[in-house]
Amino acid sequence: MRLLPLRLLAAIGSALMLSTAFAQNWPTKPIRLVVPFTPGGSSDILARAIGQKLAESLGQPVIIDNVPGAGGSVGADKVAKAAPDGYTLLMGHIGTLAVNPAIYPKLPYDPVKDFAPVAWVANVPNVLVVHPKVPAQNLRELIAHAKAHPGRLNYGSGGNGSAAHLATEYLKLQTRTFIVHVPYRGAAPAVSDLVAGQTDLLFTGAPALMSFIKSGQLRALAVSSKTRLPALPEVPTVAESGYPGFEADQWYGVVAPTGTPADIVSKLNTHINQALSSPELKARLMSEGAIAVPTTPEAYGALIQREIARWKPVVQAGNIQPN
């Protein structure tokens, strides 16, 4: 009877040795980083920046795979069901990991149970921008115009339940305004139509907007963060503009399928944090309006759980429904 425990212990020991050896040799082939949105948005921009640095430090290509659909749920589900071997990762986001559970009653993945947090990459303040045709030079003027013409202004987003949709609905709740929502299939087409004057305003992540703000094609009125954005020091926060306590930043980070070996998660976290701490990437992210947040997998996991609890009542109050 004593042989069984000994054999079991031997099997466990062998499995641990194999797992450790696998993690030490990892990676031996290209890594796929899934972006659950169309190219051109903040998720895509950040994934490509991180992917390039990871490829350099790990010695293997990092392939960016855009898998859009259902507010990021299609791509996230694909990663949740992938082999937990460190070769398939997800560029997680406030929408896919914190907001979708409140929007989709039959979400095909659980953002807490089905993913292993790897690294918190960046916070990205949303920037409220308008087309130059809109007669508002600041947020107070925009709100006054919206209240004087209810339902006449419209705003774009990357789709129902996207971060831009959520941030704008939150702003509408705080300011008691009626502005019509125009959902798109991703942030990039929403930005394009705003630049073309097809919509009036957009409240989305800074990286997708910076070039258009700097060129004067869009006018920035406010940022969603607690403090002003270093890349746009002249643009006040929403709180400074008369709505104290307002904060609605986006955040991004890498997750892997649950069951991914802890040594691989740790190795990825170390390499991503090293990349985020490099002067080159810090400067690049800052120029895009993103703020690097190198930290532990545990801290990123705690953020996800806090944000799930935070945004559920906002989704319910705004009656935000899936496409």
Contact yes or no for 36/72 (Cβ under 8 A): yes
**Which residues, in sequence order, are CB contacts of 56 under 8 Å at separation 6+?**
none
DSSP collapsed to 3 states, 38-88: CCCCHHHHHHHHHHHHHHHHHCCCEEEEECCCHHHHHHHHHHHCCCCCCCE
* pLDDT, mean over the chain: 90
Mean pLDDT value across residues 52-79: 95
Where are the domains positioned within the chain? 29-124+250-317, 126-223
Supply the DSSP symbol for 206.
Answer: G
The domain covering 126-223 belongs, at the CATH homologous superfamily level, to: Periplasmic binding protein-like II (3.40.190.10)
Mean pLDDT value across residues 89-117: 94
**Chain segment 130-157, per-residue pLDDT in tens:** 999 999 999 999 999 999 999 999 999 9
Domains 29-124+250-317 and 126-223 share a fold: yes
Domain 29-124+250-317 annotated CATH 3.30.1540.20 = no
Q: How confident is the model at residue 276 (pLDDT cuts 50, 70, 90)?
A: very high
What distance in Å separates the CA atoms of residue 101 and residue 32, rounded to the nearest whole number? 25
Concatenating the DSSP letter of every residue in 136-191 gives: -SSHHHHHHHHHHSTTT-EEEESSTTSHHHHHHHHHHHHHT---EEEE-SSHHHHH
Structure token pair of residue 72: 């990021």
Mean pLDDT value across residues 84-96: 95
What is the percentage of the chain residues whose pLDDT exceeds 70? 93
Q: How confident is the model at residue 22 (pLDDT cuts 50, 70, 90)?
A: low
- Report the SS3 class of residue 108: coil
- Report the SS3 class of residue 90: strand
